Amino acid sequence: MVFTTHIFLFYFLPAVLLIYYSLPFKWRNLFLTLASYIFYGWWEPWFVILMMISTVLDFFCGKLISAPGASRRRRLAGLLIAICGDMGLLAFFKYYTFTAENLNRLLQTLGADLLPVLQITLPIGISFYTFESMSYTIDVYRGIVKPARSFSDLSCFISLFPHLVAGPIVRYNVIAEQLVSREHSWDKFSTGVALFIVGFAKKILLANPMGSAADAVFATQSPYFLDAWFGVIAYAFQIYFDFSGYSDMAVGLSRMFGLVIPKNFASPYRAESITDFWRRWHISLSTWLRDYLYVPLGGNRHNLRRTYFNLALVMLLGGLWHGASWTFVIWGAYHGTLLAFERWFGKRTLYAWLPYSGRVAVTFVLVLISWVLFRSSSFPQALSYLHSMFGGASGGRAGLLLAAEIYTPYSLAILALCTFLSFQRLEVYDWVEGLNWGRSVVLVPLFVLAVMAMFTQTFNPFLYFQF
């Protein structure tokens, strides 16, 4: 099920809220779990079974690790079983086909037998809930959190539908106490509704129109350089408002049920460096990679060469987390190289001497180059597109047709609005926290407009569903 459908908006969400607030508190977590399983299994019921396997595995491994008097060997065994089980499921469903295809290319050169290439359906959200369930077991091992009181609590945490399929990646220590006791207030509920409406409008009114423009340009072979820049900027706004819109809705929905989870974005396109960008973009993933990969690898506690290696490796794995494709691997390597270079340069950039607006502009261009890798279906296509961006293509007759399609008053107006919203100081969360009757009045027509636009658009799921 998707947030931006009439089934969710007018049937599922009202029914779940009504039943939830009609129940005594002791039954609410169980009901949220059942509702989340229905939400997740709406398209493919067997996806629920896979998620339950992961939940059962981490629940019992958590008990094994935290058992009174458990030896260090037993605790380590519980941790390894959980990590291998979680990563094994993720690796099979997400990376088996990619690995088999690349190994077959190598085996062909050696004249060896080929591996079977299976067409495996990727379960939606598996990258997100796998990281959440795995972080639970790791934190229990580290002594950061106590094991879940019951299987019901852990399953509620992992399956919670607001953030289940596309984040933020929530850690158990953030939500553990709230599962036991949480406040339900009008202020929390109203700010949750406001966040949901803003996120919904981001997706429908901004991300989807920009996505249409980006798709048109990326589908064109060798676009004219102005068209290529327009296309990648449109994609930058599409992925930002699509993903941050989902995150806003996830945080807002959680607040409606009395749960507070962290925000996932902090005006990333206002970043002054790539290091700053990763403090602002997909915060839950970047902090997860830092705490569960970068720090265990040694972080910056060793020599500089080891620090650069750790940065590059973590971002390489972060790129692979996004998808089983060489473009994602190269995208991660690109960001890892830039992060390592900034660390080598004293946590500064070569353009640190520029005024603030100049630093932001250069960082934005560096990010745009990375989005070409992220959006392209293959590395040759990415190289061809970058060639067009830097004046290597004339566009020709196809360019004239493309220009007529993308440079419409509507597209230009949406692009201008996206630019203004991306680079202005006030964040959505600041605006919502200062919610009053005046701002509430603005939300009503915004929601109505977004719903009307939703019914005119073709089905357009969130980009991060595929990751």
* Active centre residues (catalytic): 322
**Closest Cα to residue 405, out of 229, 227, 208?**
227
- Give, in order, the Cα–Cα distances in Å from 294 to each of 136, 280, 297, 303, 308: 18, 18, 5, 14, 11
Residues 120, 129: Cα–Cα separation, whole Å: 19
> Strand, coil or helix: what is 435?
coil
Q: If we measure between CA atoms, which residue out of 199, 111, 260, 209 comes closest to residue 460?
A: 209
Query: Residue 467 and residue 463: Cα distance in Å, rounded?
Result: 8
- Give Cβ neighbours of residue 304 (< 8 Å, ≥ 6 apart): 343, 344
Contacts 24+ apart (CB under 8 A), 435-443: 435/190, 435/191, 435/194, 439/194, 440/190, 440/194, 443/193, 443/194, 443/197, 443/198
Write down the number of H helices and E strands in the chain: 21, 0
Amino acid at 387: H
Burial (CB count <10 Å: 0-12, 13-18, 19+), residue 246: buried
